[in-house]
Amino acid sequence: MATESSQHEGHPEVGHVVPVRILLVTGMGLLALTLLTVWAASFDVGNLNIWIALGIAVVKGTLVVMFFMHLRYDRPFHGIVFVTSLAFVALFISFALTDTTEYAGNLDPGDAPKVVEKLNVLGE
Amino acid sequence: MTTTASTTHDHPDFLAHHWDTPKQQFEAGKLGMWLFLATEVLLFGGLFVGYAVWRGNHPELFKFGSQYLDTTMGAINTVVLILSSLTMAWAVTCAQRGNRKGLIIGLLLTLAGAGGFLGIKYVEYSHKFNEGWFPGAYFYDKPSDRSRTWDDNLPVPGAGQLVVPVPDTEARSIEELGLPADILVEISTVVPPGQGPSGLEELALTDTVHTDDHAEHEMHALQREDRPANAHMFFNIYFMMTGLHGLHVLGGVGVMIWLLIGAVKGRFNEKYFTPVDLGGLYWHIVDLIWIFLFPLFYLI
Amino acid sequence: MTTIDTTKPTPGAETPPVDNYLTHSSGIMSWLGTLDHKRIGVMYLVSILTAFFLGGMFAMLVRLELMFPGEQILSQDQYNMAFTLHGVIMVFLVIIPSVPASLGNFVLPIMLGAKDVAFPRLNLFSYYLWVTGAVLAVSTVFFGGVDTGWTLYVPYSTTGTEMNGILLLTFAVFVLGFSSIFTGINFIVTIHRLRPPGMTWFRMPLFLWAIYATGILQVMATPVIGITVALLAVERLFGIGIFDPALGGDPVLFQHFFWFYSHPAVYIMILPGMGIISELISVHSHKHIFGYKFIAFSSVAIAIFSFIVWGHHMFLSGQSPLMNVVFSAITFSVAIPSAVKVFNWLATLYKGSISFNTPMLYALSFLVLFTISGLTGLHLGTLATDIHLHDTYFVVAHFHYTMMGGALIAMIGGIHHWWPKITGRMYSEFLGRTACGLIFVGFNLTFFTQFMLGSKGMPRRYHDYDGPNWTPEATELFGTYHFWSSIGSFVMAAGFFLIAFYLLHSLFRGKKAPANPWGGRSLEWQCASPPPHDNFSEPPHVGDPYDFTVLEWDEQEQGYHWRHDLKHEPGEA
Ligand code: HEM
Ligand SMILES: [Cu+2]
């Protein structure tokens, strides 16, 4: 480490300065995408709506992470950490969702008359 | 080799004793922060799982519920949060360039954004509460509103008791319900869960849920009794996700104020801006989560 | 702790007493407010062992109750609270933090050649989070207690009457979770950013690889238990229907949430133990570890795999048949990296010159017990057999073989291994070996009988096995097994008290420890015992951590040191 820092004559350069221009462009992009997603939601395309909205959100999220959060200029390992966390969430969602939709058909309908009926049977 | 080499060259105040160089310390802070952000993602991830599961099983409830959210308000809040993210990123750039004035202004603007967001959220929440869209058991009539036997000590059904939901009957006691008296019964105002994946199929057949534009203002006049069974589930997840997010915004306000104090005192300069950078990362993740919450709740 | 002083001159102790981390500063505040990873490690060690004692007392209550048919000393409710608190304390307060927070904190930076962990303040904060969580968890006894079992299953936890107890406990688990997360973050960053030049990834002792893999689990899994208990708390507070079916919730979803954390958590418990075992086996058989990279990568593989098997706890909970099959299949695959480790350890032992020191005896016990536990895990992971074995004592035996026979035995072995380093004192080898024998015998007596109980059909978490619902034959059979199981637990307890006795005794009367009593090659054996405040007074030799050829025995010092003919070679660094 000692050799590394002495190269910079006591001015160790840390981090990456993202120019204001890039930040502004990113911000404008985000605002435009917000408008786009609100506009897109006004069309009813059934199940597709949610995927469109999520797709736009992913693009927006990527912009935030890449430029606001400097990930584009950062160590790749930080990106790996972040993506891993997303992957685990995806894993969690997909397994849990697969399971709940699988067994949903087996659920006892919980409507009141049936419960009362059952109770009556019990009471006899 | 680790210890001896470092003591010789200059060791600025902000550098803790166990680091050799400011760069090493900065990189460690960054990695630590990214790991922390990963935990935040997973913390919210749990709620996203809940969202996916309930929505997967009860899509109609989500359609029903989201009509009561104000898309305009949500969109405005999205814009506010994005702008505050922008000012935060700008503040970080200022800090890195040693521009103290810029840093202070940037932080102030970000704080204003956070305050604005919370303000709008407050308006939204109180609106919901006024209309009676409460989370949880409060979604249904408070015990005192009705002559039901609701044991105040037991906001949720008690131990060893069976829960008998009594949605549409005037019967309010075990005798009136004609239930066997020797079974412990808790009479609940809460309607039981829907049936399977497509949930309340009966309800889905009625016009009220398959909403068209003209149905919408009709819906606002809905009385409690006319809400679909389990409608509270949408508001549960809505309040929990936005609530947890709101708490994070509140935390962000704390961080901003702390950074602001540091900036005013001149703690940060182009050599040392780690806290600003890390605070920024935190603020952006809060923004990022909202970017997903907005479409998931308001735009469906 | 600060008053350790030499009254008896010991061989090799003529050198003037040097400053070490224990004598560096004194006063109670120099401990409570310390940022020194070594002191924090020692505080964790003391606190965790205290919690272990408390959890052990609850276990004794449970064992006494079950020793004979019929109600013995606890009412049904008290029994439920006793096993719940036993489980909560042992899992959340003892085994999850045990190795990383105590031994890890102490040796990790030293093994790495660093002066401290990356974030010393966060380290102290996480200790106090642990303390807060511990106090909250234990204080549930005064607020009605909790009777749900450590798993907090819904609807027990949402409909019980012990409202305040559950709320406190959820809060405690949340806080403890953050303690664990911060430890994990700290260690990952330390390993990434504080490795001095020369300490490459593959020169790290395997213990560090294990701690690193554990860190991944702590960071990625623990937040989920946080949100789970938070949801449980709002459910109780506001009646939000998330998990409670009466409010429209889904109780199976709770189990998904719970096990998404808790299965990885069982590897949070065992991985550091495996790391210790790699050290013990190699050092005490004075032989290079076999298959270094396999062991290192299998730790990481286990960490990742362990995220996708959680459903094997839910085969009979209403999980869908499809997911049952998927989870069962993946469960089998996770056994592979564990087996890789076991075979590597055996290969390390092969033709080594094994010294049967106390730590080594624990390592060998671990090999036996962990193998049994892993194999019985496969019985449970098989769909058909699990139908018979689920929620019986077979499961209880399985996880005690893993958590106690695995994680805890490894930790005790580690304590014995590093005790000379931590305290600067040697304990009595004879008593050490005796206690290890007692524990090994007592443990097997306690828990092997439970495998039999379970396969004969004794359900877990039952207060009694007598009365009209049980056939007299069952009562008699279970009575015999339970009786011997309880006897075994008393033997084990005797072993633990013996350990406590001779370790405390060694603090005052023990021989002074040399820097390197066992012949370890990793860096912590190159600094003095106890280590100086800044860990190294002179730069250590970094190199292959299992290359023992560079060491030689010094009769006078009663320890190993760097071979004289190599003295001036700067190692590999
Ligand atoms: C080869 C590795 C392993 C396999 C295949 C395995 C498999 C299983 C299965 C299938 C169950 C569920 C049994 C049931 O409830 O019916 C189970 C329970 C359990 N296992 Fe393992 N396991 C393994 C290793 C471990 C390890 C290393 C630990 C801890 C350090 C552990 C801790 C537990 C615990 C605590 C439970 C019971 C939790 C409860 O219900 O209270 N297992 N195991
Ligand atoms: Cu498991």
Q: pLDDT tens-digit profile of B22-46?
A: 888 899 999 999 999 999 999 999 9
- CB of C399 closer than 6 A to ligand 1? yes
Arithmetic mean of pLDDT, C3-24: 55
Q: How far is the CA of C85 from the centre of ligand 2 (A)?
A: 20
Mean pLDDT of chain B: 75
Is C141 buried (19+), middle (13-18) or exposed (0-12) by CB count in 10 A?
Answer: middle
Characterise C89 by phi-psi region: left (phi > 0), alpha (psi -120 to 50), beta (else).
alpha
Q: Which of B6, B35, B55, B248 to mutate to test the interface with C (most CBs of C within 10 A)?
A: B35
Number of domains into which chain C is organized:
1
The full set of domain ranges for chain A reads 1-74, 76-124
Who wins on pLDDT, C157 or C537?
A: C157
Q: Which of B23, B61, B198 to mutate to test the interface with A (most CBs of A within 10 A)?
A: B23
Residues of C in contact with B138 (CB under 8 A): 238-239
B10: which 2 tokens? 């200059």
Q: Above 0.85 for ipTM, yes or no?
A: yes
**Domain around C138:** 41-562
Arithmetic mean of pLDDT, B274-293: 95
Number of domains into which chain B is organized:
2
Tell whether B191 is within 8 A of chain C (Cβ): yes
The confidence score (pLDDT) of residue B195 equals: 33
- Give the residue whose CA is nearest to atom 41 of ligand 1: C151
- Whether B194 is covered by a domain: the verdict is yes
Who wins on pLDDT, B142 or B184?
A: B184
Who wins on pLDDT, A88 or C539?
A: A88
- In this complex, the residue of B17, B28, B158 whose CB is nearest that of residue C115 is B17
The confidence score (pLDDT) of residue A110 equals: 44
- Give the residue whose CA is nearest to atom 26 of ligand 1: C402
Same domain, B65 and B126: yes
- Whether B35 is covered by a domain: the verdict is yes
CB atoms C234 and B193 under 8 Å: no
Answer yes or no: pTM beyond 0.90: no
Arithmetic mean of pLDDT, C11-35: 75
- Whether B265 is covered by a domain: the verdict is yes
CB atoms A4 and B23 under 8 Å: yes
Among all residues of chain B, which has the CA nearest to that of A4?
B21
Angle at C411 between CA C405 and CA C413, to 5 degrees: 90
Same domain, B42 and B110: yes
- Whether B227 is covered by a domain: the verdict is no
Most confident listed range (A97-106, B261-270, C395-404):
C395-404
Same domain, B241 and B205: no
- Whether B9 is covered by a domain: the verdict is no
User: How far does CA C484 lie from the centroid of its chain?
Assistant: 26
B252: which 2 tokens? 């962000």
- In this complex, the residue of A15, A75, A93 whose CB is nearest that of residue B48 is A93
C552: phi then psi, degrees, rounded to nearest 5: -140, 155
pLDDT digit string, tens, across residues C463-495: 999 888 889 999 999 999 999 999 999 999 999
Q: Confidence class of residue C554 from pLDDT cuts 50, 70 and 90?
A: confident
The confidence score (pLDDT) of residue B175 equals: 67
Q: How far is the CA of C259 from the centre of ligand 2 (A)?
A: 7
The confidence score (pLDDT) of residue C187 equals: 96
- CB of C381 closer than 6 A to ligand 1? yes
Q: How far is the CA of C151 from the centre of ligand 1 (A)?
A: 13
The confidence score (pLDDT) of residue B198 equals: 28
pLDDT surpassing 70 at residue A93: yes
Percentage of residues of chain C with pLDDT beyond 90: 71
Arithmetic mean of pLDDT, B105-125: 94
pLDDT surpassing 70 at residue C322: yes
- Whether C29 is covered by a domain: the verdict is no
Same domain, B38 and B107: yes
The confidence score (pLDDT) of residue C490 equals: 96
Tell whether B26 is within 8 A of chain A (Cβ): yes
- Whether C247 is covered by a domain: the verdict is yes
- Whether B178 is covered by a domain: the verdict is yes
Q: Which residue has the tokens 């809940």?
A: B50
Residues found in chain C: 573
- Whether C36 is covered by a domain: the verdict is no
- CB of C335 closer than 6 A to ligand 1? yes
The shortest C-alpha distance from B105 to chain C (Å) reads 30
Same domain, B111 and B145: no
pLDDT surpassing 50 at residue B209: no
CB atoms B17 and C536 under 8 Å: no
The confidence score (pLDDT) of residue C26 equals: 84
With CA atoms as reference, report the closest residue to C10 among C509, C364, C435: C509
- CB of C452 closer than 6 A to ligand 1? no
Residues of B in contact with A84 (CB under 8 A): 38
- In this complex, the residue of C224, C260, C318 whose CB is nearest that of residue A103 is C318
- In this complex, the residue of A77, A85, A99 whose CB is nearest that of residue C319 is A99
Report d(CA B149, CA B152) in Å as an integer: 9
Q: How far is the CA of C378 from the centre of ligand 1 (A)?
A: 9
Among all residues of chain B, which has the CA nearest to that of A6?
B9
The confidence score (pLDDT) of residue B226 equals: 55
Mean pLDDT of chain C: 90
Report d(CA C361, CA C459) in Å as an integer: 33
Tell me, what CATH number does C197's domain have? 1.20.210.10
pLDDT digit string, tens, across residues B4-13: 333 445 677 7
Are C516 and C525 in contact by the 8 Å Cβ rule? The answer is yes
Same domain, B263 and B128: yes
**Domain around B242:** 21-136+232-299
Angle at B273 between CA B269 and CA B279, to 5 degrees: 140
- CB of C214 closer than 6 A to ligand 1? no
Please say which residue of B214, B243, B274 terminates a domain.
Answer: B214
Report d(CA C49, CA C69) in Å as an integer: 32
The confidence score (pLDDT) of residue C48 equals: 97
CB pairs under 8 A between A and C: 43
The confidence score (pLDDT) of residue B172 equals: 58
Same domain, B155 and B207: yes
Question: Which-ligand-closest: CA of C151?
Answer: 1
The confidence score (pLDDT) of residue B270 equals: 86
pLDDT surpassing 90 at residue C567: no
C196 SS3 class? coil
Same domain, B113 and B150: no
Who wins on pLDDT, A12 or C112?
A: C112
- Give the residue whose CA is nearest to atom 25 of ligand 1: C402
CB atoms B57 and A100 under 8 Å: yes
CB atoms B195 and A107 under 8 Å: yes
Same domain, B67 and B122: yes
The confidence score (pLDDT) of residue B171 equals: 59
Report d(CA C560, CA A54) in Å as an integer: 63
Query: Quick one: CA dihedral A90, C227, C245, C256, positive or negative?
Result: positive
Taking residue C202's Cβ as centre, other Cβ atoms within 10 Å add up to 11
Are B128 and B260 in contact by the 8 Å Cβ rule? The answer is no
B300: which 2 tokens? 């469906």
Query: Quick one: CA dihedral B165, B171, B172, B174, positive or negative?
Result: negative
CB atoms A98 and C323 under 8 Å: yes
CB atoms C256 and A95 under 8 Å: yes
Tell me, what CATH number does B295's domain have? 1.20.120.80
- Whether C346 is covered by a domain: the verdict is yes
Same domain, B87 and B104: yes
Report d(CA C122, CA B195) in Å as an integer: 48
